Structure 1
């Protein structure tokens, strides 16, 4: 294990922030938004609103809507128009999507990579990131100093759920950034989220706009279905749009399903289980994903029932004509495996990770993926049906899909094939653990594979192993606490620590030793406190101190009690502090 594990210091002394450099030259970074497949239908009002926001000097504009409504597609379409019109006088354009780290409500998303990338892009030159709150102030000054367009897509993983801490932002740096830009900005900051940005509520509408993006209008939904290739009268198509409440993702899935499975006849949509009876907004897309899963499973099952000699004949034909496409049944099985694979990840998937899983030949998951040609045909099919995103020209070999699709098939794989789920994550743990060129990576960029290794190791139930082999010796560098002392990456560290918890920040995983549970509770409390999330820090700090008292570790117990008392005083709870 190496050196004895010690608690983090009671308080880190953060050096004063360096002076702000001057405005950076004309720069463009527009590669971070997800590449959606579909055309934009309707949204003329919102496109005009975005045009006017840039032209009229709005500081911040937020698009709010439930998942799958089309927020990202709208932003991407408008950005394409913005680029085509020669950037309309912008001196810098920077895009970022927090969806790349997942969108589940309890997901602990880091902002360190965002701030590292954005600060460097806009001209920050110091080696170490500023303190969590200061980095937001620094970035706001750099952005606001010029006519810049800043797009932040998928903000909700960084917001508390509605009803918890008033739905406010979790990250103090991001909170400072948005509050500063709301007050003063020479350009425009565009945000998309599934909920209101509470920190921007009540700001003057001459400076800040928060717009609720409605579902597609009936005529636009009908146009979408016709563009996909669905047949039916205007009245029949209008009924179909109404039944899914005009939800953009559900309509795309419905249209492609009807075209592929029901021969394009919208009247046969009553064959889709539960779709027409669904009344809850946001559930129609899940009904469609369930229909796709059932269809792919049943098609695969029908192939399995065929006589062995038919399968041998198919193999013989493919040996003679290797360019011939695989049979539809085989392609269905491969397509379903691809969707399950996407559910293992919370971000775009690299070819190396896919190859690792293919070579593992995991029963029921990657054991029947076939040749490279079969794989390509399956990917092509899924993209045609909008189940996978279009090719990203900057990362052409990566695979990505809508977060709702990824989350659905991840849940299905975990519940229906738990052994395949565990084996796949074990495989990915080994892959990412070995990926860095250095045993001890020096930078955040070099350390990213280790963060992924911990995530997959914990998903496989290897919490103690991930702690002993990766987190403690290679991310923390044992007592050196390298990740935040040298890199200032408090947010990344907290996001990694979250994987060791069954319920953040209350219950560490059962497979950990008692002393390591106490240590992780302390790390969680320290990280939350460092990030300004003081109210959340109380529970893990109290639990950690109770644990070390039980173990009669009086030195760490005294240190923990002192830190907890100081925190209670900061929160104004004098009774508990003493």
Structure 2
């Protein structure tokens, strides 16, 4: 790993917490976790909760550790433990009564501001923005300033410049991105007229105050080293398939409109970033309709006029294709000239994110991802986070240094997952200035006094799409004369931009003809761009062809419908959202609109052979969406089974490995896509199966906690209809999942249930799996001898009742582990080698990797250093090419142990630290405990005995809590070694 890969800052989202009145009460503000024992820093006025007087030592507040990576939010009560007595610094410290959750990450380093002048900062806090309740802020640290009038401060406050700091950000950390140190906490912002002076001014409390307290907190002046970014590991042989001249893929790019405003500051910003080798990703973030796509389209034209061209341009519209799998398939086809596809790469078990990123990184590509908010969480504590783990990994691979490609993203939500990367730049897209707004209106043929136009721009917030709609309204009603603006119903000046947009949409809609409105509504129901001939057909249903052409021409001229390439038309996403939400008010009418779309796709599908690629599946995917929208759930299920799965071949999963797409398709059956509700299906059997497939998809996408709850519902559904075999299989999956998560206490009852269901199903293979699950559970509890009895019972069943008289896949892995633990090395070797052979033949790539790790463990036990090293290195490389986070965690753990065995404690510490982080984030508690034990050994080898003992204690506490007896025994042996001064 080269030093140049150090580009990752402390993550503001990971150390930020939300302070609330109660678990269900309103948000007070933000705090930052500064120690693993629950010490949190915030502002005094946040704790005051709008009341007069000061909070007192011992007062309590509710702390929310927000939901992360599929984990539910955790609430805790915190007590006020420190105030700057006798001073007015707006800072306080609280401490939680209970230990903080393992996924919470404290600030790594606090710092002084001596060298922060003019440095850029980022922050994360719980400020409300319409439906969004958290957000990123960035800006510049302007330096320390004198204390405000009438105050006595321990240290001077810090003045900031930022456009995003608002109510709710108080208590958020100020992270100096140049030094990677948290140097203050946001305390207040200066509010003035939107075009007034000092409108971007804010202040923060100087972190230096904490150094003057009695709290055990250290501040530093030297920068904190940056974390290393992972570069993609993929099959290098695929590079030979790359196209020598891929050209430009601009089919998804909208055409430039003649009235588009040249927004030079944004073009200059993009040019500077594009020419800066240190910058790899730029995110243009702003409200829908602010002009983000137009800015990028203008800038792209400028790039393509340069003498030095990129090797290729790839533009992808996530508004039209809200699916990570489709993106990967299209990108791979583009970069290889259709030589490779998702199907060909997935069949080898390769990680699509790493493969596509690796292929893009090898040359100078310009990649534009438009409308990425369709892949982001927009309503939960995870606001802004990428929902697809694989796509998140792709973005982070592209943010790693040492490559020439450049990524531009447009989104309504901040790219939280890239915020800690110094190679990422967040560009907030603001409304048009008054002058730009006037120019846009003039280009849209609005006439009248300039002063009237300026008032129009100011009243409606300078929002580009809103002004375009206003122009269309004025042209239709008054021939474009802006002096009639007094006839408009104007929202209150402090109304949100969303409210203003909705207001003009409703007034403009009243001016449309029935034909125009009908076409707009019907087109809005379609999720992807439509062939222009189809749009003309919709219009022709209201009259003649000539009238249809006039209608479509008007909708295009007024920008209600926009061209995509030469043949397709699309409704702007914000306008589409308006009409879809409006149509939903009449459920029957909305269902009829979906019926029209469904029939269109059914006609297309009737002439299509079974799909051979993800791209060819798109009509079927859209047909499923519209079948569910029209209430034809039986037909939707038929389309899923016949077109997506293609019967027993399970094409979409076994061939394409497109579990994001499967999850999206299955989610269509749930009201509003909410999994907590019962799926809509024609019968109980279908409902149970839908639940099972959603849970399976979540599990394979690395979202085990979400999967667990839905597996439980699937189990109950199968039991209800007395489908005992599927109930047994579902119970086995659930038990396996809980074993991985370390929820061993729950597993006792589940394993017993597996036996009972196997008996009701009268199925020996179900009994076999139950025996292996009981064996695994006993092994983890530290009851190895009894565990072997269970595994051998399972082996007997395999010999008597199955074609393969062996334990293989996860059963074989657990059996070999138990044998090795009990010292039966030769038998463990035999079991592992047979398992490896079976898994290879079946192309179970994740199991193959784990077999190799097991064989490396055996080699290490035999002190066959060379064999062990090759095994661990090859397994880790292969694990990085997979999409399975649980396998990667195990591979990192094995490699970290090997480095320690090979007397490389410093390198081992780095690997094991990453392993712990990944395991804790994903919820794999068994692996987290094992990694912490190994990490303590590495620390001890480095002479950090106190830190080592601390890690060992944390591991022991977790192991005791979950009943991981095997680890408890190992930790006790390690402690004895520590006492003897020799380590474990």
Range class of TM-score, shorter chain: 0.7 to 0.9
TM-score, normalised via structure 1 length: 0.82
Matched, 1:135 2:340: no
Query: How do residues 155-194 of structure 1 correspond to structure 2 at under 5 angstroms?
Result: 155-165=372-382, 167-184=384-401, 185-194=403-412
User: Given the superposition, is the C-alpha separation of residues 423 and 281 from structure 1 closer, same or farther in structure 2, using an over 3 Å criterion?
Assistant: closer
Cα 1:94/1:510, change in 2 over 3 Å: closer
Could you report, residue by residue, the CA deviation over 1:224-282 in whole angstroms, capped at 9, with x for unpaired residues?
Answer: 11222223333322221111111110011112211231232323223223446671122
The equivalent of 1:485 in structure 2 is 654
The alpha carbon displacement at 1:284 in A equals 1.8
The answer to whether residue 312 in structure 2 is matched with residue 98 in structure 1 is no
Distance 1:356 1:30 in 2: 26
For residue 557 of structure 1, report the CA deviation from its aligned partner: 1.7
State the alpha-carbon separation in 2 of the partners of residues 164 and 576 from structure 1.
Answer: 27
Compared CA separation, residues 576 and 251, structure 1 to 2 (3 A): farther
**Alignment match, 1:250:** 466
The equivalent of 2:527 in structure 1 is: 346
Residues 353 and 393 in structure 2, CA contact (< 8 A), matched pair in contact too: yes
Aligned equivalents of 2:715, 2:649: Cα separation in 1: 22
Counterpart for residue 334 of structure 2: 121
Deviation for aligned residue 1:167: 3.3
Match of residue 403, structure 1, among 573, 587, 602: 573
Greater strand fraction, Structure 1 or Structure 2: 2
Residue 428 of structure 1 and its aligned partner are, at CA, apart by 2.8
**Any conservation in 1 of the 2:330–2:615 contact (CA below 8 Å)?**
no
Please state if 1:52 is matched with 2:272: yes
Q: 1:51 to 1:140 in 2, by over 3 A?
A: same
**Are the equivalent residues in 2 in contact too, given 1:230–1:259 (CA < 8 A)?**
yes
Quick check: 1:19 aligned with 2:237?
yes
1:291 to 488, 500, 507: 507
Give the 5 Å matches for 1:151-550: 151-165=368-382, 167-184=384-401, 185-204=403-422, 207-275=423-491, 279-296=495-512, 332-351=513-532, 353-354=534-535, 367=541, 369-389=542-562, 391-392=563-564, 394-396=565-567, 398-416=568-586, 418-436=587-605, 437-438=607-608, 440-468=610-638, 470-502=639-671, 503-550=673-720
Call closer, same or farther: CA 1:488–1:511 in 2, change over 3 Å: closer
Aligned length, in residue pairs: 505
What is the rounded CA distance, in whole Å, between the counterparts of 1:490 and 1:153 in structure 2?
22
SS at match of 2:386: coil
User: Which deviations, in whole Å up to 9, do the C-alpha atoms of 1:281-322 show, x marking residues without a partner?
Assistant: 2222221211121122xxxxxxxxxxxxxxxxxxxxxxxxxx
In the alignment, the residues of structure 2 paired with residue 222 and residue 52 of structure 1 have an alpha-carbon distance, to the nearest angstrom, of 28
2:320 aligned counterpart, secondary structure: helix
Q: Would you say the 8 A contact 1:218–1:246 is kept in 2?
A: yes
Q: Is the 8 A contact 1:133 1:531 kept in 2?
A: no
Q: TM-score, normalised on structure 2? A: 0.49
Contact between 2:383 and 2:413, CA under 8 Å: does it hold in 1?
A: no
The 5 Å alignment of 1:558-573 reads 558-573=728-743
Which residue among 223, 246, 249 is the counterpart of 1:29? Answer: 249
Unaligned runs of 5+ in 1: 1-15, 102-108, 297-331, 359-365
The structure-2 alpha-carbon separation of the partners of 1:479 and 1:164, relative to structure 1 and needing over 3 Å to count, comes to: farther
**Separation (CA, whole Å) in 1 of partners of 2:613 and 2:276:** 41
**CA distance in 2 between partners of 1:234 and 1:143 (Å):** 48
CA distance in 1, matches of 2:624, 2:532: 19
Corresponding residue SS for 1:61:
strand
> Residues 128, 427 of structure 1: CA spacing in aligned structure 2 closer, same or farther, 3 A cutoff?
same
Instruction: Write the deviation string for residues 349-377 of structure 1: whole angstroms up to 9, x where unpaired.
Output: 1256547757xxxxxxx75x211111110
CA contact (8 A) 1:129 1:488 kept: no
Contact 1:382-1:388 at 8 Å conserved across structures: yes
State the Cα deviation string for residues 518-537 of structure 1 (Å, max 9, x = none).
Answer: 10011111112222233332
**Closer, same or farther: CA 474–130 of 1 in aligned 2, 3 Å:** closer
Partner of 1:4: none
Matched-pair contact (CA < 8 Å) for 2:459–2:490: no
Whole-Å Cα distance in 2 between the matches of residues 379 and 47 of structure 1?
A: 32
Task: Kindly indicate whether the alpha-carbon contact (under 8 Å) linking 1:494 and 1:524 is maintained by their aligned counterparts in 2.
Answer: yes
Q: Distance in 1 between matches of 2:493 and 2:271?
A: 39
Residue 453 of structure 1 aligns to a residue in which SS? helix
SS in structure 2 at match of 1:226: helix
Quick one: structure 1 residues 373 and 572, their matched pair in 2 at CA, closer, same or farther if it must change by over 3 Å? farther
Cα deviation, 1:530-552, whole Å, max 9, x if unaligned, reads: 22233332332221112112223
C-alpha distance 571-251 of structure 1, shift in aligned 2 (>3 A): farther
CA change 1:575–1:72 in 2 (3 A) is farther
Alpha-carbon distance in structure 2 between the residues aligned to 1:345 and 1:42:
31
Q: CA 1:130–1:17 in structure 2 vs 1: closer, same or farther (change >3 Å)?
A: farther
Choose 1 or 2 for highest CA Rg: 2
Distance 1:570 1:262, change over 3 A: farther
* Long gaps (5+) in structure 2: 1-233, 749-984
- Pair 1:352–1:38, CA change in 2 (3 A): closer
User: How far is the alpha carbon of 1:453 from its aligned partner?
Assistant: 1.3
Which structure is richer in relative contact order (CA contacts within 8 A, separation 6 or more)? Answer: 1
Native 8 Å contact 1:524 1:540 kept in 2: yes
Aligned-partner SS, 2:430: coil
Structure 1 residues 267 and 352, CA gap change in structure 2 (3 angstroms)? closer
Find the aligned partners of 2:257 and 2:519 in 1 and give their Cα distance: 17
